Amino acid sequence: MTSPDRRTAPARSHVEEFLRSHEADRIPHPGGTLLDHLTRVAARLADWGTDSAVQVAGLCHAAYGTDGFDGALLTLDERTTLVDLLGDRAEAIVYLYASCDRSAVYPRLGRDEAPLFHDRFTGEDHTPPEEDLRAFLAITAANELDVFVHNAELAARYGPGLYELLSRSRTLLPPTAWRDWQDWQDRQDRFHRQNRLS
């Protein structure tokens, strides 16, 4: 099978079929199943105007598991499977997202001009190009916003830190992404004020 060109998105139905064949529709996740979550993340990335590679990477961002989600649909030995399905660029974004050691990387984002990424799989550090950093941050913003909308406990625990991280990095986010996060934060603030008054 020939890999999709960098500029050509694979058929969405093929990607969703792949995810179902790897039981993403059976794995619980805030807001339903993992497939429900992945679909919403990809839709949000489309609404934010990201390119097709970022959208399909968002749809498959948990394929290798993440630093916040242990379940993996593929092993790292199966990366060529995702390359064949998504193309080189989208798969590389999925890998960047999955491999990120958040405790090492998050404090650097928005502070270091060229932040080092620590790869939790290999233990190596590298500096991704700005295009990849923008993709990583867009997927981070879409992923976490969807989780927080569907899980108040996680929102209370991790929301303030994520909001601060994205605030520092907002020049690298799609403007609509930052507006959605500001709207979410405004709703959180109103909720907390109402609770204090009641």
* Of the candidates 25, 16, 59, the residue with the CA atom closest to the CA atom of residue 40: 59
Question: Which positions ≥6 away from 166 have C-beta within 8 Å?
Answer: 137, 140, 141, 173, 177, 178, 181
- The CATH number that applies at residue 112 is 1.10.3210
Domain membership of residue 27 (yes or no) is yes
Domain membership of residue 118 (yes or no) is yes
Distance CA 25, CA 12 (A): 15
Tell me how far apart the terminal alpha carbons of the chain are, to the nearest angstrom. Answer: 61
Domain membership of residue 1 (yes or no) is no
Domain membership of residue 62 (yes or no) is yes
Domain membership of residue 4 (yes or no) is no
Question: Which positions ≥6 away from 89 have C-beta within 8 Å?
Answer: 6, 53
Domain membership of residue 6 (yes or no) is no
* Phi and psi at residue 154, to the nearest 5°: -65, -35
Domain of residue 20: give its range: 12-197
Distance CA 80, CA 183 (A): 39
pTM summary value: 0.92
Domain membership of residue 5 (yes or no) is no
Type of residue at 96: L
Provide the CB-side half-sphere exposure for 91 (13 A, CA).
Answer: 19
Count up the domains in the chain and report the number: 1
pLDDT tens by residue, the chain, 198 residues: 444 444 456 778 899 999 999 999 999 999 999 999 999 999 999 999 999 999 999 999 999 999 988 889 999 999 999 999 999 999 999 999 999 999 999 999 999 989 999 999 999 999 999 999 999 999 999 999 999 999 999 999 999 999 999 999 999 999 999 999 999 999 988 877 777 665
